[in-house]
Amino acid sequence: MSRKSWKKCGVIALAIALVVICIPSFALGAPSAASLRGKTIYLAMISVPGIPEALAHVGEFEKETGIKVNIEMLPEKTLREKTTADLAFGTGIYDAIMFGLMYVTPYAEGNMLTPLSQFVDNEDAYYLNRIKLDDYIPKALKVNSYGGKLYGLPFYAESSFHFYRKDLFAQAGLTEPGSVEDIWQAAEKLTQKPNLYGIIMRGLRGGGLNVYTWTSWLWGYGGKFFDENMKPILDSPEAIASVKSYTDILKQYGPSGVAGFDWSVVRTYATEGKTAQFYDATPFVSMIEASSSQTRGKWDIVVPTEIKSPAGHFAPTIYTWSLGMSAHTSEPWATWRFISWLTGYEMSETLIDDGFMFAGALSRKSQLDEHPETAKTYWAAKTLDALAKAPLDFRPRIKEWPAVGDAVGAALSEVIAGQSTASEAFKSVNQQVYRIMERAGAYK
């Protein structure tokens, strides 16, 4: 398959953990800028907050460097399928890809990405000063590393908030929800079906969909995915209690069909004034406060660690969207120059100058330290606080996660849809996850 022909890859089921690829080593020392002129690179990306605004400046990069950049924008599911197939089979369609943090481990263990440390170590001081590697939020770099090597440069990092309509709470005589009980009480009191629902959260199956938000509840109830021997314990009383709480509140006070809702449907309900509460990712602040939002100015937030729960408090989520280099790129330095430019300090400053607010989607300390107006806007400082308190292994960063996350997401969705009880579904999925881990050789 020729990468320049951009032939489409079909949907391929991949056993990521079994793929072993040899990573090429590249000559040490940064090449001259002149030697990179005329090079062409290919990327697969997703449109997350800030990316459209950043890509509007690609022409400036091409003019300065002489490097031609071709970008294929893809929906998240398609992005994962096409890029994983390309990386696993070594077809070399893409020089760089955009990926979420849960794929750092499988890609690194499968030798699918080129470690970026060699470029950092050999880059010219001029370019390093423009990138400012030490300005990235440390945790955002840490979750993009594996085995002491850096595999991705984060474009942004996100956490999670509990969002609530402060106007509706005030009218009902309710105060800021500081506990699970408060969330339940508000959901009951404010539900006025079919025009207003007490709460909405993700119900659609997927390790990055309903599992992403439910995992905060899992931590809050004292549950875990695995014990110290990596044996699944999703059938524990704590885990089942978290499932029951998450699903029951949606069934009682959420809209019908919520088992099929992803984050985009949550956004619609929030911006159209159809929900009094929702729990989701911090980038939602830029959506609910957009000029097009019917509920702009009516929201407030609670950081998850401030929500009391049976085991103490909720755990904030953590997620990054990053750019990494294919192990099969034929243009390593041209690719490095682009991904470091796109995620670098200068691009961050350019976006802020353009009026883009890194509300809920931070990647750099300077976005707050050098721009106090940003820190005061849309709870940006609280986003950084939530990220600082988020567990590094909020969800298990293991190579088996794609299969594990999908299985757990399917079980969770079944419970929300009323097709199974929390106990039945999670006793069953616990056995399923055990088999997934066993087949992957986790218990040898």
CB 266 within 8 A of CB 200: yes
Residue 409 has pLDDT above 70, yes or no: yes
CB 329 within 8 A of CB 83: no
240 confidence band (pLDDT: 50, 70, 90) = very high
382 confidence band (pLDDT: 50, 70, 90) = very high
79 Cβ contact partners less than 8 Å away, ≥ 6 residues apart: 44, 45, 46, 97, 98, 99
Q: What is the pLDDT of residue 28?
A: 60
Q: Are strands 160-165 and 299-302 parallel, antiparallel or unpaired?
A: antiparallel
| Full-model pTM | 0.88
> What stretch of H or E contains 438?
helix 422-439
Least-confidence region, from 218-227, 230-239, 383-392: 383-392
- Mean pLDDT confidence for 240-245: 99
Residues of the chain with CATH 3.40.190.10: 35-151+319-356, 160-316+397-439
Instruction: Convert the pLDDT of each residue in 91-147 to its tens digit.
Output: 999 999 999 999 999 999 999 999 999 999 999 999 999 999 999 999 999 999 999
Per CATH, the homologous superfamily of domain 160-316+397-439 is Periplasmic binding protein-like II (3.40.190.10)
444 confidence band (pLDDT: 50, 70, 90) = confident
- Mean pLDDT confidence for 427-441: 98
Q: What is the pLDDT of residue 4?
A: 41
Per CATH, the homologous superfamily of domain 35-151+319-356 is Periplasmic binding protein-like II (3.40.190.10)
CB 337 within 8 A of CB 67: yes
Stated length of the chain: 444
Angle at Cα 253 formed by Cα 252 and Cα 254, nearest 5°?
105
Alpha-carbon gap, residue 287 to 272, rounded angstroms: 11
Q: What is the pLDDT of residue 378?
A: 79
Residue 196 has pLDDT above 60, yes or no: yes
Q: What is the pLDDT of residue 359?
A: 74
DSSP state of 440: T
Which percentage of the chain shows pLDDT scores above 90?
84
Q: How many CB atoms lie within 10 A of CB 422?
A: 22
Mean pLDDT of all residues in the chain?
A: 92
CB 114 within 8 A of CB 327: yes
Residue 323 has pLDDT above 80, yes or no: yes
DSSP state of 325: E
